[in-house]
Amino acid sequence: MNSAPLSIVITGEVDHGKSSVVGGLLIETGTVPQSQIEKVKQICQKSGKEFEPAFLLDAFEEEQNLGITIDISQIHFATAARNYRLIDSPGHRDFLKNMVSGSSAADAALILVDAQSGVTEQTRRHCYLLKLLGIKTAIVLINKIDLFQYAEDSFLKVQADCQAFLNQLGLAVSVFIPLSAKFGVNLSRLSDQTPWYRGPTLLQALDQISFSKAPESAPVRFSVQDVYKTTDRRVIVGRVESGRIEKGAELKIWPSGQKIKVATIEKWNAPQVQRADQSDCVGITLVEEAFVERGKVIAPVPSDSSVTEYFQATIFWMGKERARIGDSFKIKLLTQEMECKIESILGIVDTNSLKQVQMSGDFIDRNEVADVRIRLSSPLFMDVFQEINASGRFVLIQDYRVVGGGIVTQTRAASVMESLKAAKELRHVTESWWRSFLKATSWRLSGFIATYVLVFWFTDNKKMALTIGGVEAFSKILLFFIHERIWNHFSIGKKEIQPVVVWFTGLPCAGKTTLAEKLYEKLKQEGLKVEHLDGDRVRSLFPMSDFSREGRDSHVQRVGFLASKLAQNGVFVVASFVSPFASGRRFVRGICPRFIEVYVSTPLVVCEQRDVKGMYKKARQGKIDHFTGVSDPYEVPSNPEVVINTQELSVEQSVDLILNALKKLEPAAVRRKWTW
């Protein structure tokens, strides 16, 4: 067995001696062939420079002349314990995007700090980015301690500074090591120069890093790269980004949500494959064919993740131009690609103080980190980065170039769930039993005192006053209890209003809005609180909703959510939406406890004759895509509470029919039992 190398990125401010540490490591582990060291030494001689281990990596002439690293370099080395892939990243601010590129591929980080200059702004920025990119383990190297005659207190001072910042950031440090890369101190052997240091050498510290892969039990995420068709079959190729796929697994294709079952898992010139784990690249075939293409994600029914067109993220900006609110980009998340917009910038993160600074404008500058809200032109499948890394990170592309990288911090579903939870809590604000008891006692006590005072005043007899007061207090408590229990069984004069959501669905021009408006008026006349939500009016509030199946469904879901919230707060809702898909309507029914679906069944021919806004005509001419009834399907409700045929019934008659259904609706009230 040949285990994979651990990828380590080394970061540090320019001139802190990063490439020297790397060069030193390579020489001490015997990685660099002597011939290569000789070659670099020759080059140095020719150009009259002193040999530096850094030149082994800084291969570009410009890098050696300037003495800086421009781009990342990767080099392999091995200790007795394991193999490493070391990623040397540039420290200079101008090349931050290269540092991010290098770090995004790493499992752990070496953070290099110069003992002389200590923790600088750039060090802090690097640490912040490492944390953002998901690095979990770090080793801090405090270099150039030779400049302080190897004094312990100068090391401890820098260590304390680092520790404070990294704790605040939440980046775990396994060890702090005093180093002098130039003199090979504590790289592979503990030096006599630092007798006070008893920790591991750099190489030992590396070998001590424990790194565990995500468990196989993690939720499955399979990103579809392509579909290869041969004469008799279709093989879906892609990568397992999380979890494990097994033969026979029942999953779904997202964002559409179509069910599939895995028939086979395929690799060429390899033994039979039964399962595929994280980072495996395989082909899969399905038991029953389904529509799949590049850019889909295969996953089980997501619990914490969602298909969403609106989410919150933290992004790192690498574009030459500033990013502004309203700017459009292409987003790439797994193999999904979509147009998107920055809808709002919530704040720029000050990587120095770790505080979110107040917005100074509405833009993000190069190398800045910002919290933003992003709106997609159509929903994508994604997870919150903390939950599943691979499906919670993305890049932004503008004019062919990657201009930003980001992680998903909150998806729409997450925020909806939170507000639903909050709503439930609100409804629990009632009197607790002990409060009622206290109130009852204090009321009775004041009654008793009043009786006592009155009787004493008239009779001047303390004993009698006390007895009458006591009997009165006790008997009234008992009487009240019995009286209440008896009244509980009579509903005379009791009025309980439980709001209902009345949902009109049907083809465009079927007459939904007309009926809804009439019903709205009727309910209003009854003195009820009522709201009318209409398709056309609400559309203008959600301008980004498109007319694809997903777009329409999430639109209906949003309106349904709003309706359910209104109903929860005692408002009747009359909603009139084409809502062509059963899935969207089912969602709304699910979240509204008292729900009436009214299917306005006007046939297509009649609707088309009415054509109030000339939309059917345009659709027929091909000027409008996705027009329900013409170029998009309408799924007739299978079990509506009310069906209205507008050709046979007048508006008045129709509304009466709906009011009848409202009256018949079972109260969702609590049943009372005869209890004493």
Partner 1 sequence: MGDHLDELEAYSVFIIREAFAKIKNLGMLWSVGKDSTVLLWLARKAFFGRVPFPLIHVDTSFKIPEMIQYRDHFVKEWGMQLVVGQNKKALAEGMNHTKGRLVCCTALKTVALQEVIQAQGYQGVLLGIRRDEEGTRAKERVFSPRGKAFEWDFKDQPPELWDQFQTDYPADVHVRIHPLLQWTELNIWEYILREKIPVLDLYFSKNGRRYRSLGCAPCTASVESNASTVQEIIEELKSTHLSERAGRAQDQADSHAMQKLRVKGYM
DSSP-assigned letters across all residues of 89-152 = ---SGGGHHHHHHHHTT-SEEEEEEETTT-S-HHHHHHHHHHHHTT--EEEEEEE-GGGGTT-H
Report 301-360 residues binding partner 1 (CB under 8 A). Answer: 318, 330, 332, 335
Rounded to an integer, what distance in angstroms lies between the CA atom of residue 460 and that of residue 122?
A: 90
Instruction: Say if residue 514 is exposed, middle or buried (CB neighbours under 10 Å; 0-12, 13-18, 19+).
Output: middle
- What's the min distance (Å) between Cβ of 323 and partner 1? 15
- What's the min distance (Å) between Cβ of 101 and partner 1? 5
Select the span of 39-47, 357-365, 369-377, 625-633 touching partner 1 (CB under 8 A): 39-47
Which residues have a Cβ under 8 Å from the Cβ of 140 and sit 6 or more positions away?
111, 113, 159, 162, 166, 173, 175, 176, 177
CA angle in degrees (0–180, nearest 5) for 489-493-498: 90
Q: Is the CA virtual torsion 122, 128, 132, 138 positive or negative?
A: positive
Which CB atom, from 56 or from 607, has the smaller least distance to partner 1? 56
Residue 382 binds partner 1, judged by CB under 8 A:
no
Identified binder of partner 1 from the candidate list 29, 89, 101, 564, rule CB under 8 A: 101
Residue 3 binds partner 1, judged by CB under 8 A:
yes
Query: What token pair was written down for 546?
Result: 């498109």
**Nearest in space to 578 (alpha carbons), one of 616, 530, 544, 609:** 616
Rounded to an integer, what distance in angstroms lies between the CA atom of residue 43 and that of residue 36?
A: 11
- What's the min distance (Å) between Cβ of 41 and partner 1? 11
Residue 34 binds partner 1, judged by CB under 8 A:
yes
Identified binder of partner 1 from the candidate list 79, 117, 163, 225, rule CB under 8 A: 225
- What's the min distance (Å) between Cβ of 80 and partner 1? 14
Which CB atom, from 76 or from 537, has the smaller least distance to partner 1? 76
- What's the min distance (Å) between Cβ of 363 and partner 1? 20
Which CB atom, from 6 or from 566, has the smaller least distance to partner 1? 6
Which CB atom, from 322 or from 330, has the smaller least distance to partner 1? 330
Identified binder of partner 1 from the candidate list 17, 178, 302, 405, rule CB under 8 A: 405
Q: CA 345 → CA 28, 314, 317, distances in Å? A: 48, 10, 12
Rounded to an integer, what distance in angstroms lies between the CA atom of residue 225 and that of residue 237?
A: 6
Q: Is the CA virtual torsion 523, 660, 604, 556 positive or negative?
A: positive
- What's the min distance (Å) between Cβ of 235 and partner 1? 7
3-state secondary structure of 662: helix
Select the span of 15-23, 43-51, 136-144, 530-538 touching partner 1 (CB under 8 A): 43-51
Which CB atom, from 60 or from 196, has the smaller least distance to partner 1? 60
Which CB atom, from 245 or from 516, has the smaller least distance to partner 1? 245
Rounded to an integer, what distance in angstroms lies between the CA atom of residue 185 and that of residue 202?
A: 10
Report 246-285 residues binding partner 1 (CB under 8 A). Answer: 266-269, 277-281, 283
Which residues have a Cβ under 8 Å from the Cβ of 389 and sit 6 or more positions away?
134, 214, 242
**DSSP assigned state of 632:** B
- What's the min distance (Å) between Cβ of 5 and partner 1? 7
Q: CA 498 → CA 153, 267, 669, distances in Å? A: 72, 60, 8
Residues in the chain, total? 676
Residue 393 binds partner 1, judged by CB under 8 A:
yes
| Centroid of chain to Cα 134 | 15
Identified binder of partner 1 from the candidate list 16, 18, 97, 125, rule CB under 8 A: 97
- What's the min distance (Å) between Cβ of 122 and partner 1? 18
Select the span of 33-41, 166-174, 188-196, 623-631 touching partner 1 (CB under 8 A): 33-41
Residue 235 binds partner 1, judged by CB under 8 A:
yes
- What's the min distance (Å) between Cβ of 565 and partner 1? 37
Residue 538 binds partner 1, judged by CB under 8 A:
no
- What's the min distance (Å) between Cβ of 30 and partner 1? 8
Which CB atom, from 320 or from 494, has the smaller least distance to partner 1? 320
Four-point Cα dihedral 461, 466, 471, 476, nearest 10: 110
Sequence letter at residue 650 = S
Which CB atom, from 176 or from 317, has the smaller least distance to partner 1? 317
- What's the min distance (Å) between Cβ of 294 and partner 1? 6
- What's the min distance (Å) between Cβ of 281 and partner 1? 4
Instruction: Say if residue 612 is exposed, middle or buried (CB neighbours under 10 Å; 0-12, 13-18, 19+).
Output: exposed
Which CB atom, from 276 or from 533, has the smaller least distance to partner 1? 276
Which CB atom, from 39 or from 355, has the smaller least distance to partner 1? 39
Identified binder of partner 1 from the candidate list 18, 131, 239, 552, rule CB under 8 A: 239
Rounded to an integer, what distance in angstroms lies between the CA atom of residue 405 and that of residue 314?
A: 9
Residue 43 binds partner 1, judged by CB under 8 A:
yes
Residue 401 binds partner 1, judged by CB under 8 A:
yes
Select the span of 19-27, 95-103, 493-501, 596-604 touching partner 1 (CB under 8 A): 95-103
Which CB atom, from 78 or from 160, has the smaller least distance to partner 1? 78
**Nearest in space to 591 (alpha carbons), one of 531, 497, 501:** 501
Select the span of 100-108, 461-469, 480-488, 511-519 touching partner 1 (CB under 8 A): 100-108
Mapping DSSP onto H, E and C, the string for 52-73 reads CHHHHCCCCHHHHHHCCCCCCE
Contact (CB, 8 A) for 245 and 262: yes
Looking from the CA of 669 toward its CB, the CA atoms found within 13 Å total 11
- What's the min distance (Å) between Cβ of 371 and partner 1? 18
Q: Which residue bears the tokens 């801090």? A: 140
Identified binder of partner 1 from the candidate list 15, 52, 98, 472, rule CB under 8 A: 98
Q: CA 592 → CA 146, 318, 393, distances in Å? A: 71, 45, 34
Which CB atom, from 107 or from 114, has the smaller least distance to partner 1? 107
Rounded to an integer, what distance in angstroms lies between the CA atom of residue 282 and that of residue 276?
A: 7
Contacts with partner 1 by CB under 8 A: the residue count is 65
Which CB atom, from 97 or from 512, has the smaller least distance to partner 1? 97
- What's the min distance (Å) between Cβ of 239 and partner 1? 5
Site string for partner 1, 409-438 (x = CB under 8 A): ------------------------------
Contacting positions for partner 1 (CB under 8 A): 1-5, 30, 33-36, 42-43, 46-47, 56-62, 70-76, 83, 85, 97-98, 100-101, 104, 225-226, 228, 235, 237, 239, 266-269, 277-281, 283, 294, 318, 330, 332, 335, 390, 393-395, 397, 400-402, 405
